Amino acid sequence: MPSRTAIPRVALLVETSRGYGRNYLRGVMRYAREHGPWSFYLTPGDFSQVLPAMYRRGTNVPMGIIARVENDAIARQLAQSGLPVVILDLSDQQRASGILPRCVEVHPDPEAIAQLAIEHMVARGFRAFAFVGIAGRSWSDQRQAAFVRQLAQRGITPHIFTGSPQDNPLMTDQESLLLEWLRTLPLPVAIMACNDDRGRQVLEACRLAHIAVPEDVAVIGVDNDELLCELADPPLSSVDVDALGGGYAAAALLEAMMFRRAGAKGPKTVLVRPTQVIERRSTEILAQENRPIAAALRFIGDQACHEVLVDQVAEAAGLARRTLEVHFRKTMGRTVLQEIRRVQIEKVKQLLVNSALPFKEVARLAGFANQFYMSTAFRRYAGTSPRTYRERMHAGTVMLQEPETKSPI
């Protein structure tokens, strides 16, 4: 057993190309800062990772490994190393084969993820559902299976598209298959993508197929990779998963295994819980046949931050202003002006959290005439001042309670 005075050397075989992997690694880093020091081996890259050759030759051997197991080859390497291992995802086949009998698995809870996505779409009136996954990815297969199971409890059979096991871009033939599949779906339909990358591909395919999002197809991803979601067209709603907490828990488990503390065996599986659905434009709709209201919502989403007027919304919807007001309130439970303000306030929140812009500039970008007007509206809708909101959210990004490692996160 290594001395507790030794600095743990840990190999991190985790992708850095996706938000979930980066946040997972941030959780590991946070644990190491609080309980370390630790030293790390990390190769920035995508899902495919390999155990470094120098480790396989027995030199500079780490004390523990945190890894995503993408194939049986890396699983065998990890098993042969004889080192404590914490795994992000095992396939059902790998789990059943016992190829890594001493490892502990930490992965997102597919049932809870599917439940949040379904409830989000059901609340918006959708009754037809579909799933777009990636063939050969265990985490995608698990989310698909959970999605199917939970919809079956509601008497619903979803449409399924898996496609090829390509990591990222839609190839030409893949794009064609996805386009054809989308055109077979009943509209309106809610689509859950296995992750945000796949969700972006669905949005692009909808654009090429001239399918309106979210009026005809609402799309929700998983992992809330903010960069991918915000740069999508339209911005992609996503189930936010506590990857930071998952990485923290993984590091705590690995330390216990490396130094054989009491309870070092821990649970065989730790489930990382999703926290919430981050709603963006791709699901901001009520599934309905009221096309004028849908058109109004789309226009507001596009133009609210450009000092849009209610009369302009009515023109976009093809209705008289009074008629629009009556139908809009009946359908949405709020006035057109309240919806414009809601979209503006959401823009203000994004700018306060994701930028250091002065409040005057935030007000301008969100479509308010001045900073004072923005602050007044923000207090009314958010219950606090823009300054307090920014300070609270920034403080929250550096606070993390240590997860319980013997129960789901």
Architecture of the domain defined by 9-108+243-274: 3-Layer(aba) Sandwich (3.40)
Residues 327-363 as b/e (b if ≥16 CB within 10 A, e otherwise) read: bbeebbeeebeebbbbbbbbbbbbbbeeeeeebeebb
What does the H/E/C string look like for 150-180? HHHCCCCCCEEECCCCCCCCCCHHHHHHHHH
- What torsion do the CA atoms of 8, 404, 75, 25 make, to the nearest 10 degrees? -60
Local confidence pLDDT in tens for the 409 residues of the chain: 555 567 888 999 898 888 889 999 999 999 999 997 899 988 777 766 666 665 555 556 678 899 988 777 888 888 888 888 998 877 777 777 777 777 888 889 999 999 999 988 987 778 899 999 988 788 899 999 999 999 999 999 999 997 755 544 444 566 788 999 999 999 999 999 999 999 999 999 999 999 999 989 999 999 999 889 999 999 999 999 989 989 999 999 999 888 875 444 545 788 888 888 888 989 987 666 677 887 888 888 889 899 899 999 999 999 999 999 998 888 777 899 998 998 899 889 878 877 889 999 999 999 999 999 999 999 998 888 999 988 876 653 333 333 333 334 5
Predicted pLDDT at 171? 47
The whole-number pLDDT of residue 407 equals 39
Residue pair 204/183 in contact by the 8 Å Cβ criterion? no
Give the distance from CA 53 to its chain's centroid: 33
Q: Please check whether the two domains, 110-240+278-283 and 291-394, share a CATH topology.
A: no
Residue 273 identity = R
pLDDT of residue 167: 45
Per-residue pLDDT, 105: 87
Query: What CATH architecture is 291-394?
Result: Orthogonal Bundle (1.10)
User: Do 258 and 86 touch, CB atoms closer than 8 A?
Assistant: no
Q: 110-240+278-283, which class in CATH?
A: alpha beta
Domain segments of the chain: what residues?
Answer: 9-108+243-274, 110-240+278-283, 291-394
pTM of the entire predicted model: 0.70
